[in-house]
Amino acid sequence: MVRVDFRHVHAVKKRLADGTVRTYYYHRHTRLRLPDDPTSPEFAQALKDLAPAKDSPEGVAPGSFAALVEAYLGSPEFRSLAPKTQRDYRRYLDVIRESWGRNPVRKVTREHVLALRDHYASRPRTANYVVSVLRVLLSYAVDRPSLYGLTGNPAARPKRLKTNGGHRPWEESEIAAFRAHWPLGSLERTAFELALNTGQRGGDIAAMARSHVKGGLIMIAQEKTGARVEVPISLALAEALAAWDTARSERIAAFKAAGRPVPLDMGSRVLTSPERGYALTVDYWRHLMIDAMQAVPGLAQGLGAGGVTTHGLRYTAATRLRELGLGWEDIGAITGHETAAMARKYSSRRRRAKIAIHRLDQATAEDTPTDDGNKSGPKV
C-alpha cells in the first residue's frame, strides 16, 4: 500500500490475471473504495462527500453514518431495548461510527458490509455481531429515505462467519465435576443450580428476588424480553436453595454478632455477595461463574477450548425442563425459542446416538460365538 497526494487516501496496486497492474484507491478512515481516476471530478466529489460538514456544530455531516448513529441512539427504537442490549449495541455502534462515521449512508453497498465483517474475521463472533447491529442501524435508515437516501438494506442476511461450534450443553460428567468441587451452600453452587435448572440469563438470575420463589415455582420478568415466566423448581434446585438459605441465616447471625447492620439485599435478593451481603451485578455474576468453572480440576472452560460456558447452561436447562414434563413451546417461552430449538436438536442427536450404540451392541452380541462354537444369537 502506497500513499498518494491526497489526504486520507491510500492506493493499492494489484496485478491482474493478464499481467497488467491496476491501482485502486481507498479512503483510509472509512475503508471505502474511491473512483479509479484520481484526477476526475467524481474522485474529488467522493472525497468531499466523505468530509464532515463544516457548518455542523459537531462536525457531523447530514446523511452520514455518524449522524445516523446519533439519531438511532436517540430514537424510540433504541430506547425500547433492554439495558443490557443497549450496552451491547453501543459498543458496536461505536465501531461502526469510528470506521464509517464520515461516509454517506446512501453510498454503502453489500461489498462494504462484507469488508467490515472481514476486517474482524479473526474474531468471528465480533464480526457477526457488528453486521447484526449494522443491519438494525440500516433498517432504521431505510425507513427514512429522505434523510439518508437508502432504499434497501445491504446488510440484510449476509453470510455469517463460522464460530467453532459455539456454545454447547454441558455433559452430565461436567455437571457432576462442578457439583463435586463446589458444595451446597456456596454462592458458586447456588448460582450454578439456578442457571442449570431455570435457563435464565445471568442478569435475570442476579436480579432474582426472594419473593419470586414460591409455590414450587420461580416467577420472574425477563429483563431482555419483558416476558413473565414461571419455571418449575426441580429437586436439585430446591436442595441448593435450602442449603443457601441455611448459609444465609448463618451469615445474618454473624453480621448481628459483630454488631454490623444486616444489608437490606440479604432480605430481598436470592443471591448476595458472601463478603458484604450486597446484591450481585451482572459483571459480578459473569466473573463469579468464570472463576468457578476455572477452579474445577479437569473442566475445559471457554469457547476457544471447546469447553463449557455459562451460556451453555441455558441449553442444558432446556433439556432439564423437558424432563420435568414441559413441552418445547413452553420451554421456548422460558429460555428463548432459539435456545429451545438448539436443545431439541441436541437431544435428538443424542437419542439417535444411543439407539445406534444399542443396535451395535445388540448386533455384536448376536455375532459373539458361545463356548460350543455356535453364535449366541439374539438375547431375550
Taking 60 as the threshold, does the pLDDT of residue 374 lie above it? no
Question: Are 89 and 13 members of one domain?
Answer: no
Residue 373, in any domain of the structure:
no
Question: Are 34 and 95 members of one domain?
Answer: no
Question: Are 147 and 254 members of one domain?
Answer: no
Identify the CATH number of the domain in which residue 95 sits.
1.10.150.130
Taking 90 as the threshold, does the pLDDT of residue 143 lie above it? yes
Taking 60 as the threshold, does the pLDDT of residue 377 lie above it? no
Cα–Cα distance for residue pair 218/376, rounded to 1 Å: 53
pLDDT tens digits, 211-260:
999 889 988 887 777 778 888 898 999 999 999 999 999 999 999 999 99
Question: Are 127 and 152 members of one domain?
Answer: yes
- Full domain range(s) for residue 127: 61-163
Please, which pLDDT band fits residue 125 given cuts at 50, 70 and 90? confident
**pTM confidence score:** 0.57
Question: Are 138 and 226 members of one domain?
Answer: no
Determine the pLDDT at residue 360: 60
Please, which pLDDT band fits residue 352 given cuts at 50, 70 and 90? low
Determine the pLDDT at residue 136: 95
Taking 80 as the threshold, does the pLDDT of residue 333 lie above it? no
As a whole number, mean pLDDT of residues 99-121 equals 89
Taking 80 as the threshold, does the pLDDT of residue 282 lie above it? yes
Question: Are 77 and 102 members of one domain?
Answer: yes
As a whole number, mean pLDDT of residues 278-299 equals 91
Determine the pLDDT at residue 192: 95
CB count in 10 Å sphere of residue 111: 11
Residue 364, in any domain of the structure:
no
Please, which pLDDT band fits residue 77 given cuts at 50, 70 and 90? very high
Question: Are 192 and 237 members of one domain?
Answer: yes
Question: Are 184 and 328 members of one domain?
Answer: yes
Mean of pLDDT over the chain: 82
pLDDT cut 90: percent of the chain above it? 34
Question: Are 106 and 178 members of one domain?
Answer: no
* Domain count along the chain: 3
Determine the pLDDT at residue 102: 86
Which of 145-149, 252-256, 357-361 has the weakest average pLDDT?
357-361
Please, which pLDDT band fits residue 190 given cuts at 50, 70 and 90? very high
Question: Are 139 and 230 members of one domain?
Answer: no
Question: Are 39 and 181 members of one domain?
Answer: no
Cα–Cα distance for residue pair 99/114, rounded to 1 Å: 13
Residue 377, in any domain of the structure:
no
Which of 306-310, 316-320, 332-336 has the weakest average pLDDT?
332-336
Cα–Cα distance for residue pair 78/61, rounded to 1 Å: 21
Question: Are 269 and 187 members of one domain?
Answer: yes
Give the residue ranges of DSSP H helices in the chain: 41-50, 65-73, 76-79, 83-100, 110-119, 124-142, 145-148, 172-181, 187-198, 202-206, 235-257, 265-268, 282-294, 312-323, 328-335, 337-366
